[in-house]
Amino acid sequence: MDLYDIKGDRLGVIAEEAELQDTNKGMSTSQWSTGAEDVDLFNNGRIESEINSTRNQLQQKVAEMENLAGHLEEIFLTVEENFGRREQHLEHHYNDVLQTLSQRYDERGAGLEEEKKNKLETLYTQLLACGNALDASKELIEEAKKVYRSQDKRLFLKAVVPTIKRIEDFAKEEMDLTLSTRLEFDTPLADLSDVKSMMDSINIVPAPSAPVINPQMANSATQTSLRACWSLFSDDTVEFYELYYRPVLQDTPVDGNTAPHVSKLKVKETQCTVRDLLPGAQYELWVTATNTTGISPVSEKALYVTVPSPPVIKGRECCSCPEAALIRWESGNPDPVDSYTVDLTQLGPDGTAEGITESVVAVPTCQCLIQLQAGHSYLISVRAINIGGPSGKSEGITISTTGTFFHLMEDTAHPCLSFSEDGFTIFYGDEELPISAMGLDDNNFTSCAAVLGDLIPVRGRHYWEVEVDNETQFRIGVAYEDTERNSYLGGNTTSWCMRHILTPSRHKYEFLHNGWSPDLRITVNPVRIGLALDYERGTLSFFNVDLEQHLHTFQCHFQRYVHPCFGLDNPGALTIHNGIKAPKYAFMGQL
């Protein structure tokens, strides 16, 4: 009977039993309910719950039987396949034995034939020599008889002397009367010991069981290679293993056309180094074992990863202050990355390393806030870590803690603004863009031509300066990150700014928060304005840098981190100077 029929019949029986039990239980419940109307609803619910529990158990058993049938089907196919291989192996083995015997017979037969030929040729040569000697003897005898019968005495005397001389010479010649070759044959019988070994090697051994592939060990990979290990039951006989591997493609549907290519390696040991892989990639690995009987079932699949590529530090998104630095980076494929390590080395005035490299380990995300000492320069790099090992270091970035340093968050900028190559000069051109060409989103300023700066989130003291000209109308200050994008800086409760307005009669300066400004007049137009933010005291102060003159201070205990903000109300430009040391007057006394 076919395995599928067995599986179907068995499952049918289980299903019928389950249906019968459900029917019986249903009947029992119905009879009980009919015969005992005074039983409360609680007992009804309890019995129904038991019935449902029994049904679930039966369904679970059916599922287990289905899994068992599927497993038996796989074993059945494996046995059939291994039997076919074993039968083919035996046939090849016996054919090799017969071929070896036939080759031995041909070799020994050819040797005997050659030896026979040599013996016959030797004997024939000796026979010819004997024949020639007999012919010479007969010739001398006949000649002697002829001389003896001669009647002419004078002729007899003349011929007898030479004849006797010849007979004497012939008699002196020694004849070799021994056989020139042995009658026995020297060619040995065939050595069939190797054939016996071949016959003895035909023994029945079971096919190996499925190997067990080990989880990846720590520091067992490089960017382009990894070392896989597996184990096998000690009683199994194995001639070789085959390691299969393929990349795990993320965000890619697996079907017949896009499934990754499976590669294979044949090895003798229970470990193997797979090379020529992609960096920072996940690979699925599995193993089979093979002997003379057949191939084992495949092992469970294991997930291995190669070492990630070095991260890339995003210099335009790194910021610092005298107390700390915020480093941001990106990783080519963050999924096989477990953590990051940030290495920092203090630099001397000449740019050379002054001390040992310190490391911040187990950083979970692609950014790290590092506490530093004020007034120094540091070389900072990042490594990505996974179970395969650490990546190489990223390209280093030099961070100075002389003053506050930040870049502009250009993704918040109004579309009419443009920036210099270094990102620190803001331009507002004469040409107004149509609304359709602005490409606005929820993060862009829409009403005010403004942009935010990416200030480091450290609740200390920060200082930067802005350079302007007399003809530019501007707004500079700080704002929360979620400040309204469709309102003007200083016109809401989430921003504080200094505003310059050109009137026909004078230059007007306002210090705006929530649309209100104190009535202040500045006599000398500042060209370079310093901004001092002090979280501890809750102040934001403005200074005329050229005159070292205090202009105004906002008193506000900021509940959240703020960002520098810059806006232009008419065509013009302004330049930001940061990373500079704060002057002494910026944080002196209560202003």
Residue 166 has pLDDT above 60, yes or no: yes
| Residues in Cβ contact with 479 at an 8 Å cutoff, skipping those fewer than 6 apart | 452, 489, 494, 495, 496, 497, 562, 563, 565
The per-residue DSSP string of 207-267 comes to PPPPPEEPPPPTT-B-SS-EEEEEE--TT---SEEEEEEEE--TT---STTTPPPPEEEEE
Q: Are 482 and 560 in contact (CB under 8 A)?
A: no
pLDDT at 254: 46
Average pLDDT of the chain, as a whole number: 82
3 state SS of 111: helix
- More reliable by pLDDT, 581 or 50: 581
Average pLDDT for 434-445: 68
3 state SS of 314: coil
pLDDT at 159: 65
Task: Sketch out the chain's domains with CATH numbers.
Answer: 3-28+40-172 (no CATH), 212-305 (2.60.40.10), 312-400 (2.60.40.10), 408-587 (2.60.120.920)
Average pLDDT for 312-321: 95
pLDDT in tens, 491-525: 999 999 999 999 888 899 999 999 999 999 999 99
pLDDT at 22: 47
Average pLDDT for 356-362: 91
Distance CA 139, CA 209 (A): 92
- More reliable by pLDDT, 374 or 141: 374
- More reliable by pLDDT, 98 or 383: 383
pLDDT in tens, 449-475: 999 999 999 999 999 999 999 899 999
Task: From 378, 565, 563, select the one nearest 458 (Cα to Cα).
Answer: 563
pLDDT at 104: 76
- Name the pLDDT band for 428 (thresholds 50, 70, 90): very high
Q: Are 497 and 510 in contact (CB under 8 A)?
A: no
Average pLDDT for 79-105: 74
| Residues in Cβ contact with 367 at an 8 Å cutoff, skipping those fewer than 6 apart | 326, 327, 328, 329
Residue 266's beta-bridge partner residues? Answer: 242
Average pLDDT for 411-423: 94
> Does the reported pTM lie above 0.85?
no
Residue 73 has pLDDT above 80, yes or no: no
Question: Which two tokens mark 572?
Answer: 């013009």
Average pLDDT for 180-199: 66
- More reliable by pLDDT, 202 or 193: 193
Residue 351 has pLDDT above 50, yes or no: yes
Residue type, 56: N
Residue 533 has pLDDT above 90, yes or no: yes
Question: Which two tokens mark 363?
Answer: 């950083």
Phi and psi for 585 in degrees, rounded to 5? -70, -15
pLDDT in tens, 267-307: 999 999 999 999 989 999 999 999 988 899 999 999 999 99
Q: Are 199 and 97 in contact (CB under 8 A)?
A: yes
Phi and psi for 519 in degrees, rounded to 5? -85, 95
pLDDT in tens, 545-585: 999 999 999 999 899 999 999 999 999 999 999 999 999 99
Average pLDDT for 476-486: 95
As to burial, measured by CB atoms within 10 angstroms (0-12 exposed, 13-18 middle, 19+ buried), residue 459 is exposed
pLDDT in tens, 117-128: 887 888 788 788
Task: From 232, 245, 236, 246, select the one nearest 207 (Cα to Cα).
Answer: 236
The label of the residue with tokens 């034995």 reads: 97
Residue 590 has pLDDT above 60, yes or no: no
pLDDT at 321: 95
Share of the chain above pLDDT 90, in %: 52
Q: Are 341 and 368 in contact (CB under 8 A)?
A: no
- Name the pLDDT band for 137 (thresholds 50, 70, 90): confident
- More reliable by pLDDT, 326 or 357: 326
pLDDT at 30: 40
- Name the pLDDT band for 235 (thresholds 50, 70, 90): confident
pLDDT at 92: 74
Residue 17 has pLDDT above 70, yes or no: no
- Name the pLDDT band for 216 (thresholds 50, 70, 90): very high
As to burial, measured by CB atoms within 10 angstroms (0-12 exposed, 13-18 middle, 19+ buried), residue 64 is exposed
pLDDT at 53: 77
Q: Are 340 and 384 in contact (CB under 8 A)?
A: yes
- More reliable by pLDDT, 336 or 549: 549
Four-residue CA torsion sign, 289, 292, 293, 294: positive
Residue 542 has pLDDT above 80, yes or no: yes
Task: From 548, 511, 518, select the one nearest 530 (Cα to Cα).
Answer: 548
- Name the pLDDT band for 220 (thresholds 50, 70, 90): very high
Q: Count CB atoms within 10 A of the CB of residue 490.
A: 25
Residue 564's beta-bridge partner residues? Answer: 478
Q: Which of 237-246, 393-402, 435-444 bottoms out in mean pLDDT, i.e. has the lowest?
A: 435-444
CA dihedral 554, 556, 561, 567 (to 10 degrees): -30
